[in-house]
Structure 1
Amino acid sequence: MEIIVDEFPDREITVNGEKYLYFGGTSYLGIATNKEFQEIVYESLKKWGTFYGSSRNANVKLAIYEKFENYFSDYLGAETALTVSSGTLAGKMVIDYLAKSKVSFFHYPKTHPAILAPNSMPLFINDKLHPQLQNTVFEDIVITVDAILPLETTPTSFDFLDEISSQKKITLVLDESHSLGIIGKLGEGIFATIQSKKVYRKIMISSLGKALGLSGGIIASDKEFIDNICSEPVFVSSSGANPAYLEAYINGLLLYEKQRKLLIQNLNFLAKIVVPKQAFQFNKAYPVIYSNSDEIYKALLMKKMIIARFKYPTYENYMNRIVITANHTKADLEKLASVLNSIGN
């Protein structure tokens, strides 16, 4: 069932003149429709314009880029950070740059296509680490992984790093698009928590358009790597992220924290009233309920609740994705729980 709407889908959407509760999308903090944030964006637009279509390497530079990137690198626990126009571009730039060297790529199961190299090998074969990672041949390897995989509600475990041969020089590329703004004490994600001595270099890429509701993407790593990315032809010839949104983020930090607390309250409330079942995955520390059950999708639709349902590129079946945001009310969550609780195991 394809649904066309004429405005941004917040907690409610109108379909054929009828209102439905909406539990989909990626606006976890509800920032995209937040009136206070929209006012902050408006003031930033007056200062920076609707877009600045010039190379970041041109002689005239906008101060907001350095201000945002300095703040964000500290926030993430990285040496430095770099904004680009989208999360997908961030992933492509990183993978394309790394592919110029003689490296072997490996990917965690069901890794996002944005960080999946064409010649990448599976990290695991029959649930065991790829044998090439355990031999004694010295080589540079790149491992790509999502901080939280689709259909999962907890951060990815990196225990597998301990099993990799010490002869491997590991670059770890981490996609935090669905953890940034949500996971961590301040929503900083998991980048700083990965402390394995086996890892030579950590690189984080992320969309800024999910929880943070911003147009753009980000790359974070050590200064040497980011300096190299800044010299790449794709970066030099591309426009930067929208400067107005970057300033809006800096000016809206208190609002982001307020929205994150509202989201946490909603998740804790739902955890108290929903009955855990095998038909779906729910973790109160993460704002997405996953299910492969068509019954759940149909039951919610019958009660005028619409969730996200689509075929994900790295999965065989349809994904049913129930998204909780900071904007949902307790009444919304009670209606959701009543249907989930009525579903069989």
Structure 2
Amino acid sequence: MAFNWLADALTERADNGLLRQRQCQQYEKDNIICINGEHYLNFSSNDYLGMRHYEGVLQAWVEGLAQFGAGSGASPLVTGHTQAHLALESYIADGLNREAALLFNSGFAANQALCMALFSEHARVFDNKQHANIFADKLMHASFLEGAMCVSDNAQLRRFKHNDTEHLSSLLQKGANSDTLIVSEGVFSMDGDCAPSEEIAEIAQQYNAWFMLDDAHGIGVLGDNGFGTIEALGLTQAQVPIVMGTFGKAVGTAGAFIAGSQVLIDYLVNFAKHYVYSTAMPPAQAVATLYSMTHIATDSTRREKLIANIAHFREGFKAKFSSTSQTPTSENNNHSVPNSTLTLANSNSAIQPIIVGCPKRALALSESLKARGIWITAIRYPTVPKFQDRLRITLSSNHTTRDIDVMLDAIALAVEECN
């Protein structure tokens, strides 16, 4: 029988403690999530600013529904591009000090579309069929890496050590010719640390390369107005010609964008198949997204509360686990961690990973926490490197200090139980 190996693949993954399973949520309110009739404090949401349930965002979505209907009805190049989409694109471009921006239905689609449009066989014809180069941080989002691998016949993908600009420079010295794209993340999704974006931008200009920043986890959180790493560091379009960001995290809605020069955006409108052949984002979603972004820009209290919660968590973790914890560095990030050790990653973002180094132990700790009413997801290989299996804690401005203290107490009890 065709594909009779599917069950074997699932069994092998389960035996290794790596089987992925979905959980159906009934509802969520004020960081309390209901799954299978049980209630948990949720520390696994990327809704860093609590905008998903904010009354103004919900009202904006309702108003958008009344004006435009439930969906866009067509692809952007037919009749799916509305004034709601245009207004959001203009706001993003202005906020990032870029010439233009383009909306996508997801960050995955945006990253894949960018790779395939810039490095397709068709694109190579315009570059006299020269082989292009992509240099990506080793911990880059899977969406981009998958897209880069899809165009491997036309562009060579090389991965530099995480946040290691010396390694990046050495790779560029060996093979930076023709079109070269350097790619990193503003805030890394699994480790929560930040890229040395200013240094990478300098290196890119030195080698006449383009620098693309995937700022999915920086948009909404960083910068005086919530425009992410680009705003926080004052990086120009010349320094970072391509910016990708998403709305499904701190902004609290869904979808993504790419921002850059007018020529880049016009090129994507013509050659990015994920944009050309997909039904456009619902206009009501664009209306709600614009409202959320403008609110974030005018009210900093949520970002300030998030920063305070991050500090409270890290101080509390250090106090409770100082005798059994360590802080990883870039040198030891890829090494196994003893089972008795909790390793808090060196992150000042909302993403606070605790490395446990074993997939089965990570899963056991997660299940023990659920039994105590705390929802923290175990992240395992291949989402993260081997021996970097972890509890991925994400903090929100909606969390109270009591929520965080209860979570830390539960982790201590879970560790005692699982050891």
Query: Shorter-chain-normalised TM-score: which range?
Result: 0.7 to 0.9
Matches within 5 A, 1:203-222: 203-222=242-261
Which structure carries more helix by proportion? 2
Q: Which residue of 2 aligns with 1:332?
A: 403
Length-normalised TM-score, structure 1: 0.85
Among candidates 237, 240, 255, match of residue 280 of structure 2: 240
CA change 1:67–1:3 in 2 (3 A) is closer
Given that residues 52 and 239 in structure 1 are in contact (C-alpha distance below 8 angstroms), is that contact kept between their aligned partners in structure 2? Answer: yes
Q: Which residue of 2 aligns with 1:4?
A: 23
Among candidates 312, 315, 339, match of residue 385 of structure 2: 315
Say which SS state the counterpart of residue 245 (structure 1) adopts: helix
Unaligned 5+ runs, structure 2: 1-19, 125-129, 320-324, 327-341
Q: Which residue of 1 aligns with 2:375?
A: 306
Alpha-carbon distance in 2 for matches of 1:233, 1:169: 24
Q: Which residue of 1 aligns with 2:310?
A: 267
CA change 1:260–1:129 in 2 (3 A) is closer
1:141 and 2:177 equivalent? Answer: no
Alpha-carbon distance in 2 for matches of 1:153, 1:25: 14
Given that residues 123 and 130 in structure 1 are in contact (C-alpha distance below 8 angstroms), is that contact kept between their aligned partners in structure 2? Answer: no
Alpha-carbon distance in 1 for matches of 2:118, 2:99: 19
Given that residues 82 and 218 in structure 1 are in contact (C-alpha distance below 8 angstroms), is that contact kept between their aligned partners in structure 2? Answer: yes
The one-letter amino acid paired with 1:148 is V
Q: Which residue of 1 aligns with 2:59?
A: 39
CA change 1:303–1:6 in 2 (3 A) is closer
Matches within 5 A, 1:246-285: 246-253=286-293, 255-256=295-296, 257=299, 258-275=301-318, 277-278=325-326, 279-281=342-344, 285=348
Q: Which residue of 2 aligns with 1:122?
A: 159
Q: Which residue of 1 aligns with 2:86?
A: 66
Among candidates 267, 275, 287, match of residue 350 of structure 2: 287
Which one has more relative contact order, counting CA pairs under 8 Å at least 6 apart? 1
Q: CA deviation at 1:244?
A: 0.6
Alpha-carbon distance in 2 for matches of 1:35, 1:280: 38
Say which SS state the counterpart of residue 156 (structure 1) adopts: coil
Q: Which residue of 2 aligns with 1:51?
A: 71
Q: CA deviation at 1:164?
A: 6.7
Task: Note the aligned Cα RMSD (angstroms).
Answer: 3.2
CA change 1:154–1:284 in 2 (3 A) is closer
Alpha-carbon distance in 2 for matches of 1:318, 1:18: 26
Q: CA deviation at 1:37?
A: 2.4
Given that residues 153 and 281 in structure 1 are in contact (C-alpha distance below 8 angstroms), is that contact kept between their aligned partners in structure 2? Answer: no
Alpha-carbon distance in 1 for matches of 2:205, 2:224: 33
Given that residues 134 and 164 in structure 1 are in contact (C-alpha distance below 8 angstroms), is that contact kept between their aligned partners in structure 2? Answer: no
Among candidates 129, 133, 138, match of residue 109 of structure 1: 138
The one-letter amino acid paired with 2:25 is D
The one-letter amino acid paired with 2:282 is N
Q: CA deviation at 1:286?
A: 1.4
Among candidates 212, 219, 224, match of residue 180 of structure 1: 219
Alpha-carbon distance in 1 for matches of 2:272, 2:369: 48
- Percent sequence identity over aligned pairs: 21
The one-letter amino acid paired with 2:158 is M
Given that residues 297 and 307 in structure 1 are in contact (C-alpha distance below 8 angstroms), is that contact kept between their aligned partners in structure 2? Answer: yes
Length-normalised TM-score, structure 2: 0.71
Deviations 1:62-104 (A, max 9, x none): 1122211111112223221111221111111111111133311
Q: CA deviation at 1:314?
A: 5.1
Given that residues 189 and 351 in structure 2 are in contact (C-alpha distance below 8 angstroms), is that contact kept between their aligned partners in structure 1? Answer: no
Deviations 1:98-144 (A, max 9, x none): 11333111111111122221131123499733644114874321112
Unaligned 5+ runs, structure 1: none
CA change 1:224–1:165 in 2 (3 A) is closer
Say which SS state the counterpart of residue 58 (structure 1) adopts: helix
The one-letter amino acid paired with 1:322 is I
Aligned length: 342
The one-letter amino acid paired with 2:256 is G
Alpha-carbon distance in 2 for matches of 1:58, 1:36: 31
Matches within 5 A, 1:194-205: 195=235, 202-205=241-244
Matches within 5 A, 1:4-23: 4-9=23-28, 11-23=31-43
